[in-house]
A and B are shown apart, each in its own frame.
Chain A
Amino acid sequence: MRKRTILSLLSILLVMSLLIGCGNDAVENGANNNTDKEGIKVGINYELTGGVASYGQSSVDGILMAFDEINEAGGIDGKEIIPVVIDNKSESSEATSVATRLMTQEGVVMCLGPATSGNFMATIPVAQSNGIPVLSSSSTADVGVTIDADGNVYDYAFRLCFNDSFQGVTMANFALNNLNATKAVMITDTSSDYGKGLAKNFKETFEAAGGQLVAEEGYVKDDKDFNAILTSIRGKDFDVIFIPGYYQEAGLIIKQARDLGIDAPILGADGFDSPVLLELAGEEALTDVYFSNHYSSLDEDPLVQDFIASYKEKYGVEPNAFNALGYDLGKWAADAIKRAGSADPDAIRDALAETKGFEGVTGTFDMDENHNPVKSIVVIELKNGVQSSSIKVDPN
């Protein structure tokens, strides 16, 4: 008896969720019913609601700005780019079904997004089986985004951002060349792949160039007390501290290190890029802190400054790294369609793979054989909690 009640409840829920789902679809279709025009359809599969909506929304703002600019300038060989925007609700299962719908029903020539590595990976099988390229602007995971665990390249998956391990390599080179460091200490977030990947690559590069890691310490997410670790490294002779991890713990490490009188430069990666870092560490502590990022608003390159000016004009706010990456992704996608000379997904795929010297706001890049860009990284310096300078570090 009770079982039957539960079953009937469940079926009511199911029917209701179907109805709700249909409602959403109708709205989306309504928004996109101008897709019959002559033009090239590009799917945009991003997180517009849900947990990481801010990443998705930022990226889409950048992409649409790029498309508007291209269309205003006459489109690609006279054809307009028609964006088909669908929300994947920050869920990987939804990302898969959105990709399927875009490729099989909407007839797009390529799909942009999603923003996070996990959601992007969920769309790769669909791309592979439909033979339509998927491009990501911000999936930085080392494995699974453009290559599988065995190192085989996914034919139809590309990304425009550097990967996590490249940041580790860059920060090691930055420490060696720009800060003249020969001895480093590393405090790694061992509970994330992100932290471990950064640490591994930093170590390899730093030691290969003759540098020495005098201490390697670890912590896990949500740790709060780093005094013991910091006291033990304080007695050692080193030039820089590298913290592969996220702002939540890095902020506390920086504060506690400065309180203990450790004034060596502190290095990190894009995990530092959050206003919370400043709240946790405090202004005085955030001096001589350097981290790698995709883009810096301090970059004096006219390309970057023009982008910032027109972004502000269009949206009324300063662009962040996701906006810049989205903008570059839109431009790159258009560039590949133009070079392919047709709207055939396979020709576009080849054009993407052959990209050489693409000039973007987030750096100039070539595609390597693994469908990753070889591009410069920006290293941002913090002084009293504000970004005081940025240095472009080129890959070598």
Chain B
Amino acid sequence: MLTCFIATKGGATLDQFLQQIVNGVSLGSIYALVALGYTMVYGIIKLINFAHGDVYMVGAYVGFAVTTYLGLGFIPALIISMVTCAVLGMSIEKIAYKPLRNSTRIAVLITAIGVSLLLEYTMMYFVGPEVRSYPKLLSPKVFKFGNIIINMQQIYIVLTTIVLMIILQYVVNKTKVGKAMRAVSADKDAAQLMGIKVDNTISFTFAIGSALAGAGGVLVGIYYNSIDPLMGMMPGLKAFVAAVFGGIGSIPGAMIGGLSIGMLETLVSGYGNSMYRDAAVFAFLILILILKPSGLLGKNTKEKV
């Protein structure tokens, strides 16, 4: 399928295709980081946390502030931003979602949209609506493999994403907290009966998901060099599509979903028409919901009536 795809495009070379893959993987890594937060929160409290894209925006601004005003480097900025977002994520959960734990799911969903708007416009009030640019943190060095160009930012994005995913896999599968998270996700009431502190576990899940979004925000700031208070809207929606595609609730699914959406976008604007890029992503969402609503790796559970 890959070869026939290239063959049909006559003039397009293999080099160009590989360059598009590089672009797609970089973009997809960021979607994957954001998609993880969606999927983890959904897995544990069955809530689509629409404020998640805005946590990513706050992460980008925290990174901007510490690098511009405190002159810190990439790694400290990444860590500070992740910690701040983790605290923000936990506070959002405590203030906005916890009091609604036993209300209808639609009430929590609407609250999530409210929190999203609150974050966007509070940020706009403080930092203004104009775009800001990151200081240069990474060397502008580029690596050339024949005709394929990979720049430092892309390498950092992919490496950071891989490292964070490995840590996440370790936390979820090998630690006690991870076990608690899986238990609460499987059955909240039973987990509570087994002596697991459900509230703490949920808080922890929000912290991890938000920290990953914060990391995504810093990476995007460095990669594109442009941040604004509404930057979280589109990537948030696309990461949501990625989470649904991978199977909402599934962590490996979110990674695969993120990379697939990044790739899909890149290929559509590279080989098709750049104006149909966003349309393609959302048409894809509709297709998934019709054909395989549980997603690629999602569990096919029947709703109990």
Residues of A participating in the B interface, judged by any CB pair closer than 8 Å: 190, 217-219, 222, 224-225, 227-229, 231-232, 234-236, 248, 251-252, 255, 259-261, 276, 279-280, 282, 284
B contact patch SS? helix
Quick check: is B224 within 8 A (CB to CB) of the other chain?
Answer: yes
Q: How far is the CA of A227 from the CA of B270 in the complex (A)?
A: 8
In contact, B12 and A235 (Cβ under 8 angstroms): yes
Q: How far is the CA of A255 from the CA of B153 in the complex (A)?
A: 13
Quick check: is B131 within 8 A (CB to CB) of the other chain?
Answer: yes
**Which of B34-42, B50-58, B261-269, B288-296 participates in binding chain A?**
B261-269
Q: How far is the CB of B8 from chain A (nearest CB, A)?
A: 14
Q: How far is the CA of A228 from the CA of B277 in the complex (A)?
A: 10
Q: How far is the CA of A218 from the CA of B16 in the complex (A)?
A: 19
In the assembled complex, which residues on chain B have CB atoms less than 8 Å from the CB atom of A282? 136, 225
In contact, A225 and B224 (Cβ under 8 angstroms): yes
In contact, A235 and B11 (Cβ under 8 angstroms): yes
Q: Which residue of B lies closest to A276 (CB)?
A: B131
Q: How far is the CA of A190 from the CA of B270 in the complex (A)?
A: 17
In contact, B234 and A222 (Cβ under 8 angstroms): yes
In the assembled complex, which residues on chain B have CB atoms less than 8 Å from the CB atom of A190? 275
Given the known inter-chain contacts A219-B274, A255-B225, please indicate yes or no for A284 contacting B23, CB distance below 8 A.
no
In contact, A280 and B131 (Cβ under 8 angstroms): yes
In the assembled complex, which residues on chain A have CB atoms less than 8 Å from the CB atom of B277? 228
Q: How far is the CB of A15 from chain B (nearest CB, A)?
A: 29
Question: Which 6 pairs show the lowest CB-CB distances between chains A and B?
Answer: A227-B23, A228-B269, A228-B270, A228-B266, A279-B133, A224-B224
Q: How far is the CA of A248 from the CA of B273 in the complex (A)?
A: 22
In the assembled complex, which residues on chain A have CB atoms less than 8 Å from the CB atom of B136? 282
Q: How far is the CA of A252 from the CA of B27 in the complex (A)?
A: 15
In the assembled complex, which residues on chain A have CB atoms less than 8 Å from the CB atom of B13? 235
Quick check: is B271 within 8 A (CB to CB) of the other chain?
Answer: yes
Q: How far is the CA of A224 from the CA of B11 in the complex (A)?
A: 27
27 A-B contacts (beta carbon < 8 Å): A218-B274, A218-B275, A219-B274, A222-B230, A222-B231, A222-B234, A224-B226, A225-B224, A227-B23, A227-B27, A228-B23, A228-B266, A228-B269, A229-B274, A231-B16, A232-B16, A234-B16, A235-B11, A252-B226, A259-B140, A260-B149, A261-B142, A276-B131, A279-B133, A280-B131, A280-B133, A280-B226
Q: Which residue of B lies closest to A224 (CB)?
A: B224
In the assembled complex, which residues on chain A have CB atoms less than 8 Å from the CB atom of B265? 225, 228
A232, A235, A259, A261 — which one has the most chain B CB atoms within 10 A of its CB?
A232
